[in-house]
Chain A
Amino acid sequence: MEKKLRTPHATRPSARKSAKQKTAFQEFWRRFKKNRLAVAGFVIVVIYILMAIFADLFFSYDFITENQISNAFAPPLTTAEIDLNNGATAQHLYILGADNFGRDILGRIIHGARVSMVIGFTTIAFAGIVGSALGAIAGYYGGKIESVIMRGTDILLAIPNILFALAIVAALGPSFQNLLLAIGITSIPAFVRLMRASVLTLKNQEFIEAARALGARDFRIIVRHIMPNCMAPIIVQATLGIAQSILSATSLSFLGLGIQPPSPEWGNMLSDARSYISYAPHTLLFPGLAIMTVILAYNLIGDGLRDALDPKLKR
Chain B
Amino acid sequence: MDEQLLSIQNLTTQYLTDESVIHAVNGINLHLAKGGSLGLVGESGAGKTTTAYSIMGLLPKLTGKITQGKILFEGKDLTRLPEDEMRKIRGNEISMIFQDPMTSLNPILTVGDQIAEVLEIHGTADTHAALAKAGDMLEMVGIPRDRMHEYPHQFSGGMKQRVIIAIALACNPKLLIADEPTTALDVTIQAQVLRMIRDLKVKLDTSLILISHNLGVVAQVCENVAIMYAGRIVEYGPLREVFSRPLHPYTEGLLNSIPRIEVDKDRLSPIRGMMPDPSTMPHGCIFKPRCPYAAAACGTRAPHITEISGRSVMCLMHEGVIPNTMGTGGHHA
Q: How far is the CA of A225 from the CA of B87 in the complex (A)?
A: 17
Complexed CA–CA distance, A224 and B110 (Å):
12
B182 within 8 A of A: no
**Residue B275 CB within 8 A of the other chain:** no
Interchain CB contact (< 8 A) of B118 among A2, A205, A214, A229:
A214
What residues of chain B lie closer than 8 Å to A205, measured between beta carbons? 103
**Residue of chain B at shortest CB distance from A231:** B108
Contact A1 B142 (CB under 8 A): yes
Complex interface residues of chain B between 99 and 115 (CB less than 8 A to chain A): 99-100, 103-109
Contacts of B106 in A (CB 8 A): 207, 211, 225, 229
Whether B133 is near chain A, meaning CB under 8 Å from some CB there, is no
Is B117's CB under 8 angstroms from A210's CB?
Answer: no
The answer, yes or no, to whether B304 is at the interface (CB within 8 Å) is: no
Q: Does A315 contact B (CB under 8 A)?
A: yes
Q: Which residues of B contact A154 (CB under 8 A)?
A: none
Q: Give the CA-CA distance A190 to B151 in the complex, in Å.
A: 31
Q: Looking at the assembled complex, report how far the CB atom of B93 sits from the nearest CB atom of chain A, in whole angstroms.
A: 9
Q: Which residue of B lies closest to A15 (CB)?
A: B146
- A9 CA to B56 CA, complexed, in Å: 36
Contact residues, A1-28 vs B (CB, 8 A):
1-2, 5-6, 9-10, 12, 14, 16-17, 20
- Whether A212 lies near B90 (C-beta < 8 A) is yes
| A214-B104 Cα distance, complex, nearest whole Å | 12
Residues from chain B with Cβ under 8 Å of A220 in the complex: 121
A213 interfacial contact with B, CB 8 Å? yes
**CB neighbours of A209 from chain B (8 A):** 58, 98
**Closest Cβ of chain B: how far from A315's Cβ, in Å?**
6
Q: Do A213 and B105 touch across chains, with their CB atoms under 8 A apart?
A: no
> Judging by beta carbons under 8 Å apart, are A210 and B195 in contact?
no
Please report which residues of chain A, range 199-250, place their CB below 8 angstroms from some CB of chain B when the two chains form the complex. 205-207, 209-217, 220, 224-225, 228-229
Q: Which chain A residue shows the least CB distance to B99?
A: A206
Give the tally of cross-chain contacts (CB within 8 A).
Answer: 97
User: In the complex, are the beta carbons of A5 and B108 less than 8 A apart?
Assistant: no
**B96 close to A (CB within 8 Å):** yes
Question: Is B240 positioned at the interface, with any CB of A under 8 Å from its CB?
Answer: no
- Cα A17 to Cα B109 in complex, Å, equals 13
Please give me the residue from chain B that is nearest to A216 by CB atom. B121
Q: Do A1 and B192 form a contact, CB below 8 Å, given A12-B146, A210-B164? A: yes
Could you list which residues of chain B lie within 8 angstroms of chain A, going by C-beta atoms? 56, 58, 62, 87-92, 95-96, 98-100, 103-109, 117-118, 121-122, 141-144, 146-147, 149-151, 153-154, 164, 167, 192, 195-196
Decide: A5 near B192, CB < 8 A? Known: A12-B144, A205-B103, A215-B92.
yes
**Chain A residues near B117 (CB-CB < 8 A):** 211, 214, 216, 224
A215, B149: Cβ atoms under 8 Å? no
What are 15 A-B residue pairs whose CB atoms fall within 8 Å in the complex? A1-B142, A2-B141, A6-B143, A16-B147, A20-B151, A209-B58, A210-B96, A210-B104, A210-B164, A213-B56, A215-B92, A228-B108, A229-B107, A315-B107, A315-B108
Q: Give the docked Cα–Cα distance between A76 and B121 (Å).
A: 65
Set of chain A residues within 8 Å of B150, measured between Cβ atoms: 16-17, 20
Q: Which residue of B lies closest to A313 (CB)?
A: B108
Best-buried of A6, A209, A210 by chain B (most CB within 10 Å): A210
* Nearest CB of A to B61, in Å: 9
Measured between C-beta atoms, what is the minimum distance from A247 to chain B in Å? Answer: 33
Query: Which residues of chain B are near A213, meaning CB under 8 Å?
Result: 56, 58, 90-91, 95-96, 98
Residues of B close to A17: CB separation below 8 A: 146, 149-150
CB atoms of A1 and B91 under 8 A apart? no
Most buried by A among B56, B62, B106, B147: B106
A residues less than 8 Å from B105 (CB atoms) = 207, 210
B153 touching A315, Cβ below 8 Å: yes
CB of A1 within 8 A of CB of B195, answer yes
Q: State whether A20 touches B104 (Cβ < 8 A).
A: no
Q: Is the CB of B90 within 8 A of A206?
A: no
Across the interface, which residues of B come within 8 angstroms of A16, CB to CB? 146-147, 150
Contact A217 B144, beta carbon cutoff 8 Å: no
B299 to chain A, nearest CB (A): 40
A215 touches B118 (CB 8 A): yes
C-alpha spacing A58/B122, complex, angstroms: 57
> Which residues from chain A contact B122 at a C-beta distance below 8 Å?
215
- Checking A6, A210, A216 against B144 with a beta-carbon cut-off of 8 angstroms, the contacting residue is A6
Name B98's contact: one of A2, A5, A10, A210 (CB within 8 Å): A210
Segment 164-213 of A: residues with Cβ below 8 Å from B: 205-207, 209-213
With a cutoff of 8 Å between Cβ atoms, the chain B residues found around residue A2 in the complex are 141-142, 196
A210 to B53, CA, bound (A): 12
**Bound state CA distance, A207 and B104, in angstroms?**
4
In the complex, A6→B107 CA distance in Å? Answer: 23
The chain B residue sitting closest to A229, CB to CB, is B108
Contact check, B103 vs A9: say whether CB atoms are below 8 A apart: no
- Say yes or no: A214 contacts B90, CB within 8 Å: yes
A38 to chain B, nearest CB (A): 23
Closest 7 CB pairs of A and B: A214-B91, A215-B90, A215-B91, A2-B142, A14-B146, A17-B149, A206-B103
Verify A9–B147 contact, CB threshold 8 A. yes
Q: A206 to B100, Cβ gap below 8 A?
A: yes
For chain A residues 42-93, which have a beta carbon within 8 Å of chain B?
A: none
Q: How far is the CB of B78 from chain A (nearest CB, A)?
A: 13
Closest-CB distance, A151 to chain B (whole angstroms): 20
Distance between A9 CB and nearest chain B CB, rounded to angstroms: 5
**Nearest opposing residue in chain B for A9, CB measure:** B144
